[in-house]
Amino acid sequence: MSKQTEILEFNDADLVRRLCGPNHANLALIEEAFGVYIEAPGTAVHINGDTPSRARSGELIKEIYQRLERGWPCGPSDIRALIRAMGKGKVKAASVEAIIPFPRRSPIVPKTPRQEKFIHAMRDDTIIFGVGPAGTGKTFLATAYGASLLARGEVARFIACRPAVEAGERLGFLPGDLNEKVDPYMQPIWDALHMVLGRDEVDRRKAAGDIEVAPLAFMRGRTLSDAFVVIDEAQNATIPQMKMVLTRLGERAKYAVTGDPSQSDLPYNQTSGLAHALSILDDIKGISQVKFLASDVVRHPLVGKIVNAYEKAEK
């Protein structure tokens, strides 16, 4: 098969430089994936390779450029996700409706089709279950979506809770004040909030009571209204705990419930409240389920392979 050069012409040299990535890292990923050689002089991108490879890599490069024009991030992890999502088919253009916007930072853009589905579900439904293996972005996307609603004034509060299984929910026996007892279990939530809002904004809103992160047991007896609520690591909630928190739902509130039903840490072979809820709430209007797979893992490329290996071993 003859190898020729295809030239893509763009308008903005700065966007082309960003398309290439630091030290041409983005181009290197595309070259490796499609067996092509790419150069980017000025506002043009030259693709050298056989006809099918040039066509597919060119399609991907055009999509990346369009995303950059919209102000969307396109680093190496985004490029890897786009390549995986392509498979042997065509690249799927990201929906503008699927981004998570923020007033003073670039938007969060889904990296896989199921991440996009999860964002759409959080927009359209009231209670959304996002379940699947670690590293698929469930907690981060749910936290980012809720933080976006808070930053744009669409909800009054962001609330996140996790079952503190490691402490047996007996936090009174641990040293320190409530924050010192709770924060180690909630750090993934705080990390995501700091990433999307910034530490100063998080501290300000936390002091004002707009952001609350607490153990699941602390939701008992409350009505959660005008809020976006993330129930994380929900596989470690018991059936009574899950019923308790789901029935706290108040007016103008949404829930995102995230977890991996296969990784419950509940003692004595207790049935996971998450697995139970998934089985009995699947046909109620306003409640949706998005199930992530190992192919949705967006951490280090090895993580997806590790998840696959464990899934095969458990079958």
Query: How would you write the pLDDT of the chain (315 residues) with one tens digit per residue?
Result: 456 888 999 999 999 999 999 889 999 999 999 999 999 988 999 999 998 899 999 999 999 999 898 888 888 888 988 888 787 666 666 666 778 988 888 889 888 889 999 999 999 999 999 999 988 999 999 999 999 999 999 999 999 999 876 444 455 555 555 566 666 778 889 999 999 999 999 999 999 999 999 888 888 888 999 999 999 999 999 999 999 999 999 999 999 999 999 888 888 788 999 999 999 998 999 999 999 998 888 777 777 778 778 878 877
Give, to the nearest 10 degrees, the angle between helix 138-151 and helix 113-124.
40
CATH top-level class of 97-314: alpha beta
Residue 9, beta-bridge partner list: 44
Residue 231, beta-bridge partner list: 161, 257
Q: Where in the chain is the domain with CATH 3.40.50.300?
A: 97-314
For residues 238-274, one letter each, b for 16 or more C-beta atoms within 10 angstroms of the residue's C-beta and e for the rest, the string is bbebbebbbebbeeebbbbbbbbbeebebeeeeebbb
Task: Work out the burial of residue 315: count CB atoms within 10 Å of its CB; fewer than 13 is exposed, 13-18 middle, 19 or more buried.
Answer: exposed
Q: Which amino acid is it at 297?
A: V
Contact predicate 127/119, CB 8 Å: no
Give the position of tokens 């998840």. Answer: 307
**How many residues would you count in the chain?**
315
Q: Give the architecture (CATH level 2) of 3-93.
A: 2-Layer Sandwich (3.30)
Phi, psi of 19 (to 5 degrees): -60, -40
3-state class (DSSP) for residue 21: coil
